Amino acid sequence: MNKTIETILQHRSIRKFTAEKVSKEDLELILRCACNGSTLGNMQLFSIIVTTDKEMMEKAAPLHFNQHIATNAPLMLTFCADLHRFNRYCEFRGAATDCYSNLQSYQWAVTDAIIAAQNACVAAESLGLGLCWLGTITYQIDKFIELLKLPKNVIPVACISIGHPDEQPELTDKLPVEAMIHQEVYQDYSEYDINKLYKEKEAHPNTLKILEENKLDNLAQVFTERRYTKKDNEFFAEVLKKALQNQDFLAKE
């Protein structure tokens, strides 16, 4: 099997790292790969904040709800949707500077940033490193903007901890590929389809353990009643909305 394909298929989240630092050479390769991915209009509307300073990680830790992986990795990469740099380019070239302060441009930049982040992940794992995505970057996005001193038209969208693995967890249980694939047009899911596609996941030992811990009947209830509730989602949606307004991607009401 092709080594790159094997690396992708063997992806697993690593939450424990050794004290060994990521070498300068490996970091440079990871960043080169991140910056060499596909990009809308070849504008490269993203920036990457590289964090290796432990003091800076400690400052960010509360914003990541003090997750252990927010401070025990030797390297953190924060990927930002960034129109600021291109706006500055336009400014210094006598071009219009008000074209990209809108939601459409934000969507372009988010796409670029996520592509860059995934490229970085594949590169890191190809080098034998481990990683974990921190979804908490979006929960207190306004505070991350302040901490990272992000100018207008820059929003953090992904944060990844990287280091040398100090564990080898099992692969995460996934839905079968057919669950995500549609031919030509979207095909809606019947109850039969849902039962079939989620059968193996619902019977997985990890799921059974989670159900026992939460005293709930099924995984859907765990997600909607414990992990990502409507109340929390609506609260963080308002945080994101205000951040988009303050960063000039969305008009203020």
The verdict on residue 10 lying in a domain is yes
If you average pLDDT over residues 126-145, what whole number do you get? 95
CATH of the domain at 70: 3.40.109.10
**Residue 253 pLDDT class (50, 70, 90 cuts):** confident
- Per-residue pLDDT tens for 38-92? 999 999 999 999 999 999 999 999 999 999 889 999 999 999 999 999 999 999 9
**Residue 17 pLDDT class (50, 70, 90 cuts):** very high
**Residue 22 pLDDT class (50, 70, 90 cuts):** very high
The verdict on residue 233 lying in a domain is no
**Residue 30 pLDDT class (50, 70, 90 cuts):** very high
Pull the structure tokens for residue 84: 């600021």
The verdict on residue 149 lying in a domain is yes
Q: How many CB atoms lie within 10 A of CB 128?
A: 10
What is the spatial distance between Cα 50 and Cα 77, in angstroms, rounded to a whole number? 5
Whether the pLDDT of residue 96 is over 90: the answer is yes
Total domains, the chain:
1
CA distances from 184 to 176, 187, 192 (A): 19, 9, 21
Per-residue pLDDT, 252: 84
Its domain, for residue 14, covers 3-169
The verdict on residue 69 lying in a domain is yes
Dihedral sign, Cα of residue 109, residue 10, residue 1, residue 22: positive
